[in-house]
Structure 1
Amino acid sequence: MSTKDIDRKVLRKVALRLLPMLMILYFLSYLDRVNVGFAALTMNADLGFSATAYGLGAGLFFIGYFLFEVPSNLLLAKFGARIWITRIILTWGAIAGMMAFVQGPISFYILRFLLGAAEAGFFPGIIYFLGLWFPRSERGRIVAFIYAAAPVSFLLGSPLSTLLIQYGHGFMGLAGWRFMFAIEGLATVAAGIVAYFILVDRPTKAKWLPTADAKRLEGLIAAEDAAVKATHSSHSLRKAFSPRVFLLGLIYFGISYGAYAIGFFLPQIVSGFQATYGVKFNLTQIGLITAIPFAIATAVMLPWARHSDKKQERFVHLAITTFLGGAAIAVSLLLGSPVLSMVGITFTAVGIYCSIPVFWQLPPTFLTGTAAAAGLGVINSLGNLSGFFAPYLSGYFKDMTGSLQPGMLVASGFTLLSGVLVLVLRTQINKNHKAEAAVQSQGSLVK
């Protein structure tokens, strides 16, 4: 059986039913983790935070995320995607709204840690969930649609967050940044309630999908998983902790480091153009300018993922974009004008965000079942540790030097290292394939 045996109308129906909800949820998850970057434009002054204190608090989200990621994904496999993903959304939305009540560094640190713990398992859970619904040949494009919500969260979230801060200031006596946290947290809770009634664990449980179509789709995916299991013995939980999984975690660490360094500090970079170049922006203008790189990244990401699917090639596509993103970070703040700096940052966003959907097509080539749930959690948790180090080190270097440039150079180094590791992994896999082919050839000769 192949994807040709599945009517395109069936896959289109599944996509139209599930993807809008998943994209909204991922949009909110990314917004609730990075909206602190917009809050910092006024929150840091209100609460007396240094760049280091802000960076530490922003990054503690990812310590909670790291510690609870794998357990969360194992529980997802046990309880089912619908129940567990809904639990994740409701708890993170409630804690995101509680950010409105931060009073100082300690409460800031605690709530950021709890927000990460609550959201742990969401993105790899979505990847696992999509693996229950879409054949492998479709997943690169499908994951790109989901991950498009990340740059879109900046594209739409940047002006939205700054508008809420600017025009919500004084509502019921709240500072603008407190109003923003409260509104965006409530929106997430509402989305979680809706998601419970839309998400379904697998095709054969969907009342809106004809039984014959559901069985045929589920059978195709099961056959693909069985083929991978036969080749790699990939259902074993031990596979989730193999060297290849940890290497993928390191690659994702470098890619994510660049994403979070830009994500948490881009509003401050744009605001800093005032001192560097003598240009002045209000909060809404900062939000709109911040959105530009992510608008272009969104437009490029989907065709790039589609091209990777069409060629059924991942490594070269991934290496090209990681090298582009890493090189662009290094020069973006050295170009001598705000326009050229934004051009460099745009290339950075394009490189990084085009990398991620392609990257997530690598783990399913050797992981299935429980090993996939745990392995995706390991990769995502290791990668997202960069979300702690990127804002903390960027803030520390800014306090030490008065500039964000040293922090951006560190981000460039990690992103470029990811590109090198992609090529290393490609070489290792090619060697393994040649060795396996040689063993099979010798076995045929013996027979």
Structure 2
Amino acid sequence: MRTDAEVMNKVIWRIVPLIFVLFIANSIDRVNVSFAALQMNTELGFSPRIYGFGVGMFFVSYLLFQIPVALFAKRVGVRLCLGLMSIAWGLSATGMALVHSPTEFYVLRFILGLTEAGFAPVTLYFYSIWIPARYRARVTSKNTIAIAVSIVIGAPLSGWLMTSTHTLGGLSGWRWMFIAEGCVPVLLGLFTLYYLPNSPREAKWLSADEKSRLVAQLESESAPGASAAERVSSLPRTVGSVRVWACAGAWFALTMGVYGVIFWLPQAIKHLSNFGDFTVAIFAAIPWFVAGIAMWLNARHSDRRAERLWHVVLPTVIGALGLAGSVSVAAGAMGYAMLLLGLIGLGAAQAVFWAIPMDFMKGAAAAGGFAFINLCGNLAGLVGPNVIGWIRQSTGSFSNVAYFLAVVLLLGALLLAVAMLPRRAGMAAQSR
């Protein structure tokens, strides 16, 4: 008979790699516009404000449809929802090659956001019905690690596609990049429909004993012995929780910082250097490799210590100081080193963040609750690009952008600490 740890290793190796790869494809198709902008903005005459508004249009539909998609997944099953979603966003990402005007840019980004809506909360809900609490930080960290990996892979890939296919068949390299990278999630979606089980009860590769033990453990966590009044049992009550709003605010700050770097870093490097597009992509990828290592280490340390709050708050502060420092010191190696420090902090915080709401949201409201936090947090994707585009076009500098992001991150860290510390103090008092 396998031990519980062996069963979990079996489960993790069966389901996490596919979700990990889907996250990579999802992130590439969301952020490859930052590399396309190196050619697209000049070719089509897009200003920083046009580009920022177009980037933000993705998040309009992404926010509107997150909760409905997450609740739909609970009704029909994760396999069908994720499979169809992946196929749809792949086709939409390919359609970005058709952009010729600002209006088309806005519309196609809106469609891409609609097809990707719900992906993150659906996968979190999927993990909540598969993974016991003590394993969740290391598992959910794979989602944020996948974002870093997607840039480490996607940045040089996008740079290579844009330079090697430029003018091929009369099309610009950035158009070929969208076509090539959009085909991948279509194939992944077809595989997901065939491969992914909705729940442990449907897993043919688990024995009857393994299924029963895993299901019993998950059910005991979703239905603790505390009274029903102390449990989160509905979406309205979840949305009314101060802790949920604090998590949403902190996720807003972290998302603002990460997207601020993702969508504008290639242009910043291009602005400060004479590098070609492929070299710019390489320099934009390196910080995310380091951030990926920080994500993995912080998540493992968080699980070992069974501590979540400070594993998010302290790295967020480090991220803010790193971003501010990157434009405060002399340009060159020192500024790049501070940028690395900033992304180490941002990555480490994101890797552990979702373990906090997963610890206190249980039962049927979990899917909607995760979607609500992700929805509120991802308002940063709508607000951030427009504000940053305005700052960039008004000042002609990236320094004020970095300071703005640093302030937002510090406020997010403070909000989370203030909201969660009273709960920790109450739990400590009860344990005495």
Sort the TM-score into its range (normalised by shorter chain): over 0.9
Q: Secondary structure at the match of 2:127?
A: helix
Alignment of 1:7-406 (within 5 A): 7-227=4-224, 230=227, 232-242=230-240, 243-274=242-273, 280-406=274-400
Mapped contact 2:83–2:188 kept (Cα < 8 A): no
Q: Over residues 77-122 of structure 1, what are the superposed CA-to-partner deviations in whole Å (9 max), with x where a residue is unaligned?
A: 1111111111211111111110000111001001111111111110
Query: How much has 1:41 moved relative to structure 2?
Result: 0.2
Alpha-carbon distance in 2 for matches of 1:229, 1:150: 37
TM-score in terms of structure 2 length: 0.96
Which aligned runs of 4 or more in structure 1 are off by greater than 6 angstroms?
A: none
Percent identical: 34
Q: 1:221 to 1:101 in 2, by over 3 A?
A: same
Query: Alignment RMSD, CA only?
Result: 1.8
Alpha-carbon distance in 1 for matches of 2:306, 2:225: 16
Q: Over residues 118-144 of structure 1, what are the superposed CA-to-partner deviations in whole Å (9 max), with x where a residue is unaligned?
A: 111101111110111111100101111
Alpha-carbon distance in 2 for matches of 1:362, 1:64: 26
Query: How much has 1:57 moved relative to structure 2?
Result: 0.3
Alpha-carbon distance in 2 for matches of 1:217, 1:85: 23
Q: Which runs of 5+ in 2 are unaligned?
A: none
Query: How much has 1:64 moved relative to structure 2?
Result: 1.1
Alpha-carbon distance in 2 for matches of 1:166, 1:228: 60
Q: Over residues 278-308 of structure 1, what are the superposed CA-to-partner deviations in whole Å (9 max), with x where a residue is unaligned?
A: xx21111111111111011111211111111
Alpha-carbon distance in 1 for matches of 2:270, 2:328: 16
Q: 1:165 to 1:203 in 2, by over 3 A?
A: same
Q: Secondary structure at the match of 2:355?
A: coil
Query: How much has 1:6 moved relative to structure 2?
Result: 4.5
Q: Secondary structure at the match of 2:125?
A: helix
Q: Which runs of 5+ in 1 are unaligned?
A: 275-279, 442-447
Q: Over residues 208-227 of structure 1, what are the superposed CA-to-partner deviations in whole Å (9 max), with x where a residue is unaligned?
A: 22121112111111111111
TM-score in terms of structure 1 length: 0.93
In the alignment, residue 234 of structure 1 is paired with which amino acid? Answer: V
Alignment-derived partner of residue 444 in structure 1: none
In the alignment, residue 328 of structure 1 is paired with which amino acid? Answer: G
Mapped contact 2:243–2:420 kept (Cα < 8 A): no
Alpha-carbon distance in 2 for matches of 1:338, 1:161: 24
Q: Over residues 390-418 of structure 1, what are the superposed CA-to-partner deviations in whole Å (9 max), with x where a residue is unaligned?
A: 22111111111111211221111111111
Query: How much has 1:205 moved relative to structure 2?
Result: 0.2
